[in-house]
């Protein structure tokens, strides 16, 4: 009895959810994501040139310090609460760049600080970003394995 009632309520809730989800302003979201994501990438390009001209990195290697710098900036913005507000405004525009990855790690670390540094910060740091690392590493493993076997056969 109780169970049936719950499923009915769930159905009603799903109906309400669908009604509200349909109202997502797709065009506005896409334009904002495009501009914010593009702007973050352009800032990254500026940092890349900074490292090429002042620290003797090449165009290939300069992306590494650039990523580190972007994540550092992401730490400051996350700490002061700016990045979360940007995320609400820009959606994927702030989530897809590497700063969003940094934000996921850093906000989890800050959030769980009250549980202590070992059990809180340490074990929850990759709570959100862990799936990105897992599927990134595993798909890279499969792709690299296939490619190595194929090029090995082609060369040998």
Partner 1 sequence: MLAMFFWSFIVGGFICMIGQLLFDLAKLTPGHTLSLLVVIGAIMDGLDLYEPLIDFAGAGATIPITSFGNALVHGAIQEAEKHGIIGVITGMFEVTSSGISSAIIFAFIGALLFKSKG
Minimum CB separation of residue 11 from partner 1 in Å reads 18
Tell me 96's DSSP state: S
Q: Are 102 and 71 in contact (CB under 8 A)?
A: yes
Minimum CB separation of residue 8 from partner 1 in Å reads 23
- If the CB atoms of residues 13 and 72 are measured against partner 1, the closer one turns out to be 72
- If the CB atoms of residues 15 and 46 are measured against partner 1, the closer one turns out to be 46
- If the CB atoms of residues 8 and 30 are measured against partner 1, the closer one turns out to be 30
Token couple for 143: 């792709």
Minimum CB separation of residue 109 from partner 1 in Å reads 4
CA dihedral 131, 136, 139, 142 (to 10 degrees): -120
Minimum CB separation of residue 63 from partner 1 in Å reads 4
Task: Give the contacts of 126 (CB within 8 A, at least 6 positions apart).
Answer: 105, 108, 133
- If the CB atoms of residues 12 and 134 are measured against partner 1, the closer one turns out to be 134
Distance separating alpha carbons of residues 39 and 83, to the nearest angstrom? 14
Distance separating alpha carbons of residues 82 and 23, to the nearest angstrom? 26
Q: Are 79 and 111 in contact (CB under 8 A)?
A: no
Minimum CB separation of residue 127 from partner 1 in Å reads 10
- If the CB atoms of residues 3 and 24 are measured against partner 1, the closer one turns out to be 24
């Amino acid at each position: 009895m109780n169970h049936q009632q719950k499923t009915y309520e769930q159905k009603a809730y799903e109906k309400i959810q669908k009604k509200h989800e349909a109202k997502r302003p797709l065009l506005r979201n896409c334009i904002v994501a495009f501009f914010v994501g593009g702007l973050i990438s352009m800032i990254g390009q500026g940092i890349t040139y900074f490292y090429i001209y002042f620290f003797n990195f090449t165009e290939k290697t300069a992306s590494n310090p650039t990523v580190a710098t972007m994540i550092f900036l992401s730490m400051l913005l996350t700490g002061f609460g700016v990045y979360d507000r940007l995320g609400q405004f820009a959606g994927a525009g702030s989530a897809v760049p590497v700063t969003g990855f940094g934000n996921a790690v850093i906000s989890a670390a800050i959030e769980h600080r009250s549980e202590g540094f070992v059990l809180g910060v340490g074990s929850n740091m990759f709570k959100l970003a862990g799936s990105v690392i897992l599927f990134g590493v595993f798909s890279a493993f499969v792709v690299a394995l296939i490619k190595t076997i194929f090029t090995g056969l082609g060369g040998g």
